[in-house]
Amino acid sequence: MGYDTANLLRSTIGFEHLVHHALHDSKSHRCSYPSHNVEKTTDTDYTLTIVVAGFRPEDITITIENQILFVRGHSPRHDTHDHQRKWIHRGIAARAFERSFALAASLAITEAYFDNGLLKIFLQHAFPRKSEPRSISIATHPPH
């Protein structure tokens, strides 16, 4: 019986060397909403990009707890007349979400950036930090 390592790669950052040795299966890893990309930009840097169309920066929270990165989107404001609309097709999701990503102990978030419906979280290998829960602020201007 083989394992689907692609599923593991979608929900972990900084663990590429362990993909074939460690498998972790949970409901959060099977979630596909909202869509995201994980990109290794240098030997030490990663960018996590999450599609958050319809959300504002204040609708989203980013926290790290016990080396787990949590990105939560709270339902954006709903139109009070929404029930009166007659939708032909409603394909833009506006529901609350929670995505989690296991982080290597050496990874630290350097910045979070929100632009044009995309949330970009920049991570970099650094010295291990304490595993205290913390929140990450989201900028609305380009990084660097």
| CA atoms of 68 and 85, how far apart (whole Å) | 39
Q: pTM of whole model > 0.85?
A: no
Q: Encode pLDDT of 66-98 as tens digits.
A: 889 999 999 766 555 566 778 788 787 778 999
For β-strands 97-103 and 12-13, DSSP reports them as parallel
pLDDT of 126: 81
pLDDT of 122: 96
Name the stretches of the chain with pLDDT < 70. 1-11, 15-31, 76-83, 127-132, 144
pLDDT of 22: 40
pLDDT of 118: 96
**Domains along the chain?**
5-78+92-136 (2.60.40.790)
Contact yes or no for 34/92 (Cβ under 8 A): no
Element (DSSP H or E) covering residue 10: helix 5-10
